[in-house]
Amino acid sequence: MPDRAAYNSRDSRCKSPYGAVPSGTKVQLTLRPLRAEGFSRATMSARFEFRDDATVTLNMPWSGLDGARDLFTCTLDTGDYVGLVWYSFGLERLDGKGRKMFGPYQLTVYDGGEVVPEWFGEGTTYQIFPDRFRRTRVPDPQGMVGGRWVHTAWQEEPEFRPDKNGEIRNRDFFGGDLKGVMEKLDYLQGLGVETLYFCPIFEAAENHRYGTADYRNIDPMLGTEEDFIQLCAMAHQRGMRVMLDGVFNHTGYVSRYFNGDGFYPTPGACQSEDSPYRSWFNFIHWPDQYESWWGIYSLPAVNEHDPSYRNFIFGGQDSVVRRWLRAGADGWRLDVADELPDDFVRGIHEAARAEKPDAVIIGEVWEDGSTKVAYGVRRRHIMGRHCDGLMNYPFRNAVLSYLKGGDAADFVNAMETLRENYPRFAYYSAMNSLGTHDTARILTLLGAEEGCEHQSKEWRSNYRLGPDQRRRAKELLKLGAALMFAFPGSPTVYYGDEAGMEGFEDPFNRRTFPWGREDSELMGWFSRLGHLRKQSPALRQGDIHYRVGKGPVLAFTRTHGEETVLAVFNTGSEEATLRLRENEEAQLLLGSARFHTEPEGPLLTLQPRTGSLLQIVPVPEEEEE
């Protein structure tokens, strides 16, 4: 086991400043071996990965004693470098016979030359799958792209069976529309929502609309451009922002650009080599063999290096990115950001900021975004001037593991690894969620028995939690939601999770919102969390400090200025206790934790499978007479 007391990158005695640093920072590094080990010489070696692995070796002179430990210190100057640095240490004894190595450790050096807007990470985000949220009428699909059909009843089950050709085509629609969202803005405001994140809203053949047919046209089943402008204006009047889904890695086979089925009157890339869109796609053999996303023929991949495509998406004054920001959007979430070249992402970022200085770009990344490698290239997602934040699937994975009986220590370690690796702007602008359109419903995951993934899709379509399963799942969901709302980054609610929706994978996680059949207990809980988040500077911007992370018990504080909020959680099946500091009292904001004053000091009692948020109030010291 490594001697973490000799070097711990999260300890200010060993490394300062903490975590990721802007370029130009001089980082002080200190080794602290036991004096009894007899080390007399220390060196530090730093490899600058984004500078062709150039390596710098520095001597670490002896700098004093700290109790029983020698101190060896050096300063690493990051200069104008932006990227990852991997640094290691070596210790030698005077006789040269003993050597000890530490590392490598990661240092993220980012471009700190711009101010990243803070609005996204501070407030609650609500993710809307447009076809399934709210409809104001049963639409007529005649004349629309894709050969769609519409469910007459809102409560029907989404179609999941293959068609006669064995394909799952996603052409069944329910007719959710933008006017339906407008009707429910007061509802969303009542949840404390500050950002509306829409899955794609542009014209497309499939109900998920991730195979874009026309980037310049709102899907007619959703409404018109005027409807979108009105929705944005109404949202802004309520203090909400609007984020769109940018699907720029691929288009639809059925699209104005590829035009695989000939729906559009002008020739697409697969119809004519003279098409203005021909260079957008990579044909292996024109016109029937081409690169596509994950080999799915209906999603032909675009060539993001093509000048005309780049100009269309972000280069021109009327580019897609700028056009919809002008219409009222406030930011973009980039679908499959790993599959977009870094300079393409940077171009989107520059265009967005040029059009709207406080526009935000969030990337879809499923792993630690600081070390992500895609197609053999280390990505620059959060090195500055690319993505302002990422979808935080590592957070979701860590929360799920904890809720299902995992050790709170694992959650703390996973999140502290991210906090250490991420620039502060990226950590605080993360999109934290318990569920999305790409994952099973959180309530189902928390309540269903093991082995359901081996059942047939027909079985999973009919599955619902039993009363005892649902009760337990709701307890854990309330705990998980409180954890999400108390954590740095934007708490993101997938539509209907607050209403108690269930369902396994797509399309069962994309059922219609159960208007009139919501779970009132969960609705009330999410609403209270949303308003606490909106009102508390500590929850919006505060630093995080862990107090306990062991077994089923997790506790941390968020502090901003004079305000400190304590978040406490117990996933166990038995009552747990947490001792506060002697000069503290706790006022309950949300939950069921009980505060007691005892001779040994203040104590919190945590009920099984609960989470609570409390205001920490310092107790004034008594003046001596």
Catalytic residue set = 335, 364
- State the Cα–Cα distance between residues 256 and 389, nearest whole angstrom: 31
The answer to whether the beta carbons of residues 68 and 35 sit under 8 Å apart is yes
Strand partners, 47: 55, 86
Please give the structure tokens belonging to residue 39: 């080390």
Residue 359 identity (one-letter amino acid): A
Count of residues in the chain? 625
Please give the structure tokens belonging to residue 399: 């929360």
Strand partners, 578: 604
- State the Cα–Cα distance between residues 607 and 604, nearest whole angstrom: 10
Region at 149 (left for phi over 0; alpha for psi -120 to 50; beta for the rest): beta
The answer to whether the beta carbons of residues 243 and 332 sit under 8 Å apart is yes
Q: 402: buried, middle or exposed (CB in 10 Å: 19+, 13-18, 0-12)?
A: buried
- State the Cα–Cα distance between residues 418 and 402, nearest whole angstrom: 17
The answer to whether the beta carbons of residues 80 and 21 sit under 8 Å apart is no
Rg (CA), the chain: 27
Long-range contacts of 593-602, Cβ-Cβ distance < 8 Å, separation of 24 or more: 593/568
- State the Cα–Cα distance between residues 132 and 199, nearest whole angstrom: 11
151 contacts: CB under 8 Å, gap ≥ 6: 172, 173, 174, 175
Task: Write b or e for each residue in 463-484: b if 16 or more Cβ atoms lie within 10 A of its Cβ, otherwise e.
Answer: eebeeebbebbbbbbbbbbbbb
Please give the structure tokens belonging to residue 337: 């950001």
DSSP state of 480: H
- State the Cα–Cα distance between residues 581 and 618, nearest whole angstrom: 9
- State the Cα–Cα distance between residues 472 and 26, nearest whole angstrom: 50
